[in-house]
Chain A
């Protein structure tokens, strides 16, 4: 039991940080760039994608012995789009404002490469429980990246956080951060920061000659 829990925590850590779908694997960039104009939208998109990821990972893992190899991608897409449609309808019913803000990017979760990548790389080879944890970890990692980018863009571009004004009247927001070019620039600088951290870590490891596995756990 304890071993299992440790494995789950490790999976979570990988999804959130060391194997973050956006900042490290560079997947799912369309929604990342598009919906991060406010933290509110980022959390909504992150939750929607996490829900779809958990459900699709669970079902694909349960069906992995029954889906023929040749048509597996088509089968995955049908399963994923089924869940995306459910999420879309639920969102329209209960969060109409969020649905309007995210627009077409809710149905476009179907073609989000993160979800298909997890289905192909993880859920089709592992049991249901591990797949659900993997879906949760990857989804939360996606949300973390979205919230990070959205915080930068909302604070600098609108001077607010979750809609609440942060600065006094005199603050002039830099609208460029809300424009499409701001999305590319913010993500570029964030990934550069991540690469800087990775570089420092790698250099230190080389100097000390430590075991990378041990450092990962620490």
Chain B
């Protein structure tokens, strides 16, 4: 894959095939921790951090360990364990060496293990047969797309607090409908093809 291919892949992963609005990976944190733009940004940064590293780690484990041994069918189990261990390691490392970043990301890190975007990116990398560089780039770009979506949506939700909807729509339904409208805007990118 040439450099331009990788760039186009990244562009596609951020906008055209946005993880939330076109693939639905990572909807739980998207709807759960998007009440304030600041927390949304924290979550997005934590996901970006973990997803980039886990894309590299899962690629290495799949092609260096599982494939030579013919154990490809164990990839789901192996990947989720790698991600869980990685999240734990990153948490310990940050607490020890980068306390400022730990304070900013701390509470979001444990939630990332069960974020399907992280496992989803790892599995897409294998399914599409990306090389190492492309895998890392794809993981990073997909996480950027996730961050973009969650931060925009948090901005929308701040406005929703002043709305006065019918009683049945209060809370979650209104949030979902706002997400639907945002998804409609993002589906405008679907026309972009290279």
Contacts and interface: CB of A to CB of B under 8 A. Distances in A.
B176 A108 contact: no
18 contacts: A29-B31, A30-B25, A30-B116, A78-B81, A89-B73, A104-B123, A104-B124, A108-B120, A110-B80, A111-B113, A111-B119, A176-B184, A179-B183, A180-B183, A180-B186, A181-B183, A188-B169, A195-B167
Contact of B180 (A30, A78, A188): A188
Interface in A75-116: 77-78, 81-82, 84-85, 88-89, 104, 107-108, 110-113, 116
Interface residues of A, number: 41
A195 B77 contact: no
A199 B168 contact: yes
Given A184-B180, A188-B177, A29 B27 contact: yes
A182 B28 CA distance: 17
A143 interface: no
Interface string B154-185: 00000000000011111111111101111110
| Most chain B CB neighbours (cut-off 10 Å) among A27, A29, A84 | A29
Contacts of B187: 179-181
A213 to B, nearest CB: 25
Interface of B: 21-28, 31, 73-77, 80-81, 84, 113-116, 119-120, 123-124, 127, 166-177, 179-184, 186-187
B116 A195 contact: no
Contacts of B81: 74, 77-78
A192 interface: yes
Given A184-B177, A185-B177, A192-B169, A33 B76 contact: no
Given A181-B187, A185-B177, A191-B176, A30 B26 contact: yes
Contacts of A179: 183-184, 187
Nearest to B119: A111
A187 B27 CA distance: 13
A30 B115 CA distance: 10
B100 to A, nearest CB: 27
Contacts of A184: 176-177, 179-180, 183
